[in-house]
Structure 1
Amino acid sequence: MGISKKTIRLYASAKAVITQYLYLPGSHRLNNVIKRIDKLGNSEVESGIEKVMRAFAGRHRNIEQTFLNHFSRIADQNKSSLEYFSLQKKILLGAFFTKEYSIEAAALFNPSIVPHPDQQGLKADEQRFIMSLRATGEGHISSIVFQTGIIDNMANITLDNSTGYFTPLKKRLDTSYNKLFISKRAATIPEFNRSILDNLPESFSAAEASHILNSIKPTEPSIIDSVMVFEKIMDNNYELESSSHVPLNEKVIFPISNAESMGMEDARFVKFHDGEQYCYYGTYTAYNGKHIQTHLIETTNFDVFKIRALYGAAVADKGMALFPEKVNGKYAMISRQGGEKINIMFSENLYFWKDFQILMEPRYPWEFLQVGNCGSPIKTTKGWLLLTHGVGAMRTYVISAILLDLHDPTRIVGRLDKPLIEADENEREGYVPNVVYTCGFMLHGNHLIIPYAVSDSATAFATIGLDEILRDMKL
């Protein structure tokens, strides 16, 4: 097949840094630093700030405000008031409790791609896109970053320039929840004692609910366990502050909840249509160092994001990819429970999945170890086109494709009998060698646009005509 690999490469950069609060073990460490800063004279404070600003102000937006925000966290932790600190001392103290974190120090890979919500100002037959990527940094913690660009009528790809800044999006603290939201999710946990909800008003913020529930004197063990379940639900389902003032290529969705503390892995974004309305959904694997769980990102504009956990007996393993529209009135999802086969499942509720069924098993030697999806399927006149990955000898990953019936996607109506994309000699070496992998692809005219990871060390692009790939499908 006439797969065309582009020369564009996106590489991880150790210069992609964000600021984080620096935790020190033991309250005595914090108090000792406060005392040392307190003893400094004005000239020493000014000199210290000047040195820090000279070294770091050009690497981060509004870093002085970051220092003041971190000072506020210190003041909240410290028992004695620090209001007597001058503004300059507050800034300097905040700087001592700030660190840089390189989000791409280890890798930048596993992309997905969707049409940009803003298609204004383009030439004829051009399309603007948003690509998400998995950035992996110190401690092998994965976050989500974005890259925008334009595809022309010949499937040539141009990437937008980066500003050089990276801004982690903040959790919105005033998000309002209600009892129904909690009870629906707690219904999947048999041991949950619903009586704890009686103590809450009809709507509440996470902080308000925590204050009320922590004041309850438990009369039985189930109350303690149920409060923990409640707090986990609140932790897993949150919103991010509006980021309309931040360029999309600067935005970083960094782990916030405990469930994803060690990584937000392999986001698979899709533009989901429901009649004339649309929303972008991105399924990803939340990892806390021991356990995984599938979570969902929701946005209409990539400025306001909601994070939701998925629930139900079928929510297991990695790599879930949502269809771009309902099928026969239900949400449809490609999944991989068990880690070896491709499965499919349906649900009337986006957040709850009970059952799944096997869709495809390994058939060819290049996929004998396992198969999985490479992102959400796209709708064609011939059926749902789904890119797949297969793992063969020597843990070699390849990308292939299948075609599903439009009206009954549990039926495979076409399947490639050979890989679509394999690692060539220039792509074999990397953090994880002999791997090509993608978390999403999109259609541009008759061109299939496939961004893909190269041995977990870079991101490349490949294109192929839609007609050609459909023509090579075997029954």
Structure 2
Amino acid sequence: MTGESAGLVTRHPAGFRPDPTRVVTKLFVPGEEAPETRSRAGALIARVLALPEGSIDSTVDRVLAGFAGRHRDLLAVLEHNASIMSHRLVDPRSLDARRRLLLGAYFTHEYAVEAAALCNPSLVAHPRQDGLSPGQVRVVLSLRGIGEGHISSIGFATGVLGPGTRAEWRSRTGPVSTGERQPDSWSRSWLRAAVDHDDCDNEITATVTATLPDPFGQYDLDHALAALDPRLLERAGAAGTTQRIRELATSGYTVSFPGDTDLAQRLLWPVGASESHGMEDARFVRFTDDNGVAGYRATYTAYNGATVSPRLLESADLTSFSAFALTGPAARNKGMALFPRPVGGRHLALCRGDGETMSLATSSDGRSWSGEVPLHGPTAAWELLQVGNCGSPLETPAGWLVLTHGVGPMRTYAIGALLLDLADPARIVGALPEPLLVPGEDERDGYVPNVVYSCGGLIHDGTLWLPYGSSDTRVALATVPVDALLARLEEAGP
């Protein structure tokens, strides 16, 4: 194992492990657990309808007693899932309320969002900083939970850091909420960029984008697709093109959470086709635009079971989140990380378009990315397989502090550090020749062994707070004195 930089990092014992009690409800249709299988819903509904009244009441009572406390509004969930499946009933209104609840229960199951792993943390300041003592900061920690089938979602924890290197975390107990999803409206320029990004520029996409209003919604898109000339729809690949347009548009959505839910109870669950197998590696940053307006942004990786694509979350206060696809030639791989503010009038991001070299990308609007310039590639033995970032750059008077990850022999992950010029981030001021953090002997075993990895740290009161996942088994916290790290980077040079 490669040794880490001596005397810089202090590990702290407090951390998070996967919590199997964090569960959400999902629609369950028996017989459709695997592709290309036949639904058994009709037969199940018939059996529910045949149950005697006494059996209905006792079974519903057991369901509510056993599960109501585990979910925010179980009755609404059961009603909703019953309504989804009621198309198989001749007269859905004939069902009494209790039998309807039981029908919904048979088409509902729990999913443990962290049953397999917990990893990929990123740390940002909380939107509320009231009620704190001197030297303290309230923070939000985003966490990637992985459940059955390797499906990833984004959860949160909150805590207070300081004074000094003290950290206190709030409990994550309570029912988990996936919020209420609503489709967004979209701009024509975004749709044009999205279809270009997909190499899908043809007469169907050109016709649709030319006839849509600006902005447009789901009704407008359905109308434009229905109005396409039949001769265009006869062309080879037409069905695939129209389907892709629908997928691109519906991949943009907003999820809102009730104001009385604790942030730790909110869960961003994958809903679109592009992220059907997970929302991975969210890198949150507190972003301030040129007008001084601050909010939260996070890049994450959408995984559909075959391919990955970078996407963006935007939120004013972590109560409502808007999600949409990123476009452009620099937005084609995992691990994008946004700078916390524009630099020289441009949005900047770290990316890894070739899969192994960390690069700098630019954007005029923060959504379409281009101008990829290589920054730092696989050089040292501990990073010879690939190099990437471990979160958004952190601004210091000496330059942009960038935490990196490198992959070495036996696919061992380590965390390193770079320092970029403040005015010209394409110029490296310093690079640690050795890792900042490597897997300790008690951190090597887990869901993905021999890995330490972070999606973003935070600087507070002269200390770098570095959350990191160890082998996807637990999330721990380390601290680094910023001045000492900067001195080591400046001494090392580029």
Partner of 1:463: 479
Deviation for aligned residue 1:153: 1.6
- Look up the SS of the partner of 1:471 in the other structure: helix
Deviation for aligned residue 1:269: 0.5
Partner of 2:113: 103
Residues 57-456 of structure 1 aligned to structure 2 (within 5 Å): 57-75=68-86, 77-78=87-88, 80-173=90-183, 175-188=184-197, 189-191=200-202, 192-197=204-209, 200=212, 204-206=216-218, 209-210=221-222, 213-214=225-226, 218-220=230-232, 221=235, 224-274=239-289, 275-456=291-472
Between the aligned partners of 1:409 and 1:307, the Cα distance in structure 2 is: 27
Residues 8, 436 of structure 2: 8 Å contact kept? no
Deviation for aligned residue 1:227: 2.2
Deviation for aligned residue 1:102: 0.8
Between the aligned partners of 2:186 and 2:383, the Cα distance in structure 1 is: 45
Q: Greater shift after overlay, 349-358 or 143-152?
A: 349-358
- Look up the SS of the partner of 2:77 in the other structure: helix
Deviation for aligned residue 1:200: 4.9
Matched, 1:33 2:44: yes
- Look up the SS of the partner of 2:99 in the other structure: helix
Matched, 1:43 2:54: yes
Deviation for aligned residue 1:464: 1.0
Residues 178, 257 of structure 2: 8 Å contact kept? no
Residues 296, 309 of structure 1: 8 Å contact kept? yes
Between the aligned partners of 1:135 and 1:207, the Cα distance in structure 2 is: 34
Between the aligned partners of 2:45 and 2:29, the Cα distance in structure 1 is: 14
Partner of 2:23: 17
Residues 252, 325 of structure 2: 8 Å contact kept? yes
Q: Greater shift after overlay, 442-451 or 163-172?
A: 163-172
Partner of 2:3: none
Residues 196, 226 of structure 1: 8 Å contact kept? no
**1:345-384 alpha-carbon deviations (Å, 9 max, x no partner):** 1111211112311101222211122211000001100000
Deviation for aligned residue 1:179: 4.1
Residues 196, 223 of structure 1: 8 Å contact kept? no
- Look up the SS of the partner of 1:122 in the other structure: coil
**1:409-439 alpha-carbon deviations (Å, 9 max, x no partner):** 0100011122111111111111112111100
Q: Greater shift after overlay, 47-56 or 127-136?
A: 47-56
**1:320-343 alpha-carbon deviations (Å, 9 max, x no partner):** 100001111100010111221111
- Look up the SS of the partner of 1:61 in the other structure: coil
Residues 414, 451 of structure 2: 8 Å contact kept? yes
- Look up the SS of the partner of 1:167 in the other structure: coil
Between the aligned partners of 1:81 and 1:354, the Cα distance in structure 2 is: 56
Between the aligned partners of 2:90 and 2:208, the Cα distance in structure 1 is: 35
Q: Residues 28, 215 of structure 1: CA spacing in aligned structure 2 closer, same or farther, 3 A cutoff?
A: farther
- Look up the SS of the partner of 1:172 in the other structure: strand
Partner of 2:64: 53
- Look up the SS of the partner of 1:219 in the other structure: helix
- Look up the SS of the partner of 1:171 in the other structure: strand
Q: TM-score, normalised by structure 2?
A: 0.91
AA partner of residue 27 (structure 2):
Y
- Look up the SS of the partner of 2:349 in the other structure: strand
Structure 1 runs not aligned, ≥5 long? none
AA partner of residue 128 (structure 1):
R
Between the aligned partners of 2:450 and 2:187, the Cα distance in structure 1 is: 48
- Look up the SS of the partner of 1:355 in the other structure: strand
Residues 213, 220 of structure 2: 8 Å contact kept? no
Q: TM-score, normalised by structure 1?
A: 0.95
- Look up the SS of the partner of 1:58 in the other structure: helix
Q: Residues 466, 50 of structure 1: CA spacing in aligned structure 2 closer, same or farther, 3 A cutoff?
A: same
Deviation for aligned residue 1:214: 4.4
Residues 403, 413 of structure 1: 8 Å contact kept? yes
Between the aligned partners of 1:217 and 1:406, the Cα distance in structure 2 is: 53
Between the aligned partners of 2:64 and 2:257, the Cα distance in structure 1 is: 27
Between the aligned partners of 2:53 and 2:375, the Cα distance in structure 1 is: 70
Q: Greater shift after overlay, 16-25 or 4-13?
A: 16-25
Q: Greater shift after overlay, 183-192 or 388-397?
A: 183-192
Deviation for aligned residue 1:204: 4.7
Q: Residues 121, 186 of structure 1: CA spacing in aligned structure 2 closer, same or farther, 3 A cutoff?
A: same
- Look up the SS of the partner of 2:476 in the other structure: strand
Between the aligned partners of 1:350 and 1:325, the Cα distance in structure 2 is: 11
Between the aligned partners of 2:73 and 2:431, the Cα distance in structure 1 is: 52
Q: Residues 147, 394 of structure 1: CA spacing in aligned structure 2 closer, same or farther, 3 A cutoff?
A: same
Structure 2 runs not aligned, ≥5 long? 1-6
AA partner of residue 11 (structure 2):
K
Q: Over aligned residue pairs, what C-alpha RMSD do you find?
A: 1.9
Q: Residues 308, 326 of structure 1: CA spacing in aligned structure 2 closer, same or farther, 3 A cutoff?
A: same
Residues 285, 338 of structure 2: 8 Å contact kept? yes
Q: Residues 332, 148 of structure 1: CA spacing in aligned structure 2 closer, same or farther, 3 A cutoff?
A: same
Deviation for aligned residue 1:265: 0.7
Q: Residues 3, 294 of structure 1: CA spacing in aligned structure 2 closer, same or farther, 3 A cutoff?
A: same
Residues 308, 333 of structure 2: 8 Å contact kept? yes
Between the aligned partners of 1:423 and 1:98, the Cα distance in structure 2 is: 40
Query: How many residue pairs were aligned?
Result: 473
Residues 16, 102 of structure 1: 8 Å contact kept? yes
AA partner of residue 7 (structure 1):
P
AA partner of residue 176 (structure 1):
S
Q: Greater shift after overlay, 231-240 or 209-218?
A: 209-218
User: Percent identity at matched positions?
Assistant: 36
